[in-house]
């Protein structure tokens, strides 16, 4: 019975991790959308300033700044999506092992 409790705890932790990652993915998607709006504003000639990595603002080239932000966010989304896929696979594997243990103990 102790192994079953370990499996249940592992599944619970993996699901929490996956939920946090999905939440982060949604936030990143929102940032991509915001960067797209900034890019649109820059194309329309509005003077939007983007924050830089060093804490300043890039007002000289808002289109370039928006593009840079979009590329960075795209990379993060790709990494998170791959991690989520791996987490889901791991959850399935743990569940299968738990079911096997249940059948053996029953």
Question: Where is 16: in which H helix or E strand?
Answer: helix 2-43
pLDDT along the chain (106 residues), means of 10: 73 81 81 76 67 64 72 81 79 79 74
What pLDDT score does 62 carry?
A: 64
Distance CA 62, CA 68 (A): 10
User: Do residues 28 and 70 lie in contact, with contact meaning Cβ atoms separated by under 8 Å?
Assistant: no
Question: The CATH number of 2-105 is which of 1.10.20, 3.40.50, 2.40.10, 1.10.287?
Answer: 1.10.287
C-alpha 97: how far from its chain's center? 27
What pLDDT score does 53 carry?
A: 67
DSSP-derived letter for residue 95 is: H
pTM of this structure:
0.50
C-alpha 78: how far from its chain's center? 8
Distance CA 66, CA 51 (A): 10
């Amino acid at each position: 019975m102790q192994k079953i409790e370990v499996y249940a705890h592992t599944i619970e932790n993996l699901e929490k991790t996956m939920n946090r990652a999905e939440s982060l993915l949604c936030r990143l998607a929102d940032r991509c959308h915001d960067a797209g709006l900034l890019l649109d504003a820059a194309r329309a000639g509005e003077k939007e300033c983007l924050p830089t990595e060093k804490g300043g603002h890039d007002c000289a080239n808002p289109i370039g700044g928006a593009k840079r932000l979009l590329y960075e966010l795209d990379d993060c989304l790709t990494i998170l999506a791959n991690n989520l896929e791996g987490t889901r696979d791991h959850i399935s594997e743990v569940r299968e092992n738990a079911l096997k243990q249940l059948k053996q103990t029953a």
